[in-house]
Amino acid sequence: MNKTNIELFFATLKATNPTPTTELKFTSVFELLAAVLLSAQATDVGVNKATDRLFPRANTPQAIIDMGLAALEDAIKTIGLYRSKAKHLMKTCEILVRDHGGQVPNTREALEALPGVGRKTANVVLNVAFGEPTMAVDTHIFRLGNRTGLAPGKTPLAVELKLLKRIPASYMVDAHHWLILHGRYVCVARNPKCDTCAVSAYCDYTRGKATQ
């Protein structure tokens, strides 16, 4: 995808959705961190179902510590890998209380030092909570980056770094949301909905099919 088409690609996504946001439910930075930590190998719908049970009972690091591991596991047992996720979340809460005054840190280094928080999770928190122009590459964005020609790469990190270089600065803060939503609902894994795609005219995949 060339520079002109990249600009048109994101201008179109912005026109169709001027204020994109995550589909995870949260009302604080900690709730966001907890939801993203729980989202590994789970859908946002599934995570929201679990946090709808958890957050009314405990939505701060200290409150989760106070509820105990067994109660935490019970609250989130509807999602996959809930036992390991509960342990990670509990340890994360302990570190937040012990080292950060119960607050979520706003640096990549401190975030990635938390149990269960990898680069993708840190990128989501830095972008959504703190407005930083980061790019969290999940399966949807990885597929879209390669399929469209926007940012081909063999690994999520390669795609992330290429996206950071190629996306115009004016779109970077919201780009993660546009791409994940587009990959989730339009540029799907099987049978992408090219016929109804608003950005198909700028996509290498669609343009390649047209020349075949």
State residue 92 phi and psi, 5-degree precision.
-60, -45
Catalytic residue among 14, 52, 99, 138: 138
**14 catalytic per annotation:** no
Report yes or no on whether pTM surpasses 0.95.
Answer: no
Mind listing the pLDDT tens digit for each residue in 7-32?
999 999 999 999 998 999 999 999 99
Q: Which residue ranges make up each domain of the chain?
A: 3-20+134-210, 29-128
**pLDDT score of 210:** 54
- CATH for 3-20+134-210 (1.10.1670.10, 2.40.50.140, 3.90.650.10, 3.40.50.150): 1.10.1670.10
Mind listing the pLDDT tens digit for each residue in 105-164?
999 999 999 999 999 999 999 999 999 999 999 999 999 999 999 999 999 999 999 999
**120 catalytic per annotation:** yes
DSSP code for 168? -
Catalytic residue among 49, 99, 120, 209: 120
**pLDDT score of 207:** 72
90 has a pLDDT exceeding 90:
yes
* Domain 3-20+134-210 and domain 29-128 have a common topology: no
**pLDDT score of 40:** 85
**pLDDT score of 211:** 53
203 has a pLDDT exceeding 60:
yes
Token pair for residue 8? 């048109």
CATH number of 29-128: 1.10.340.30
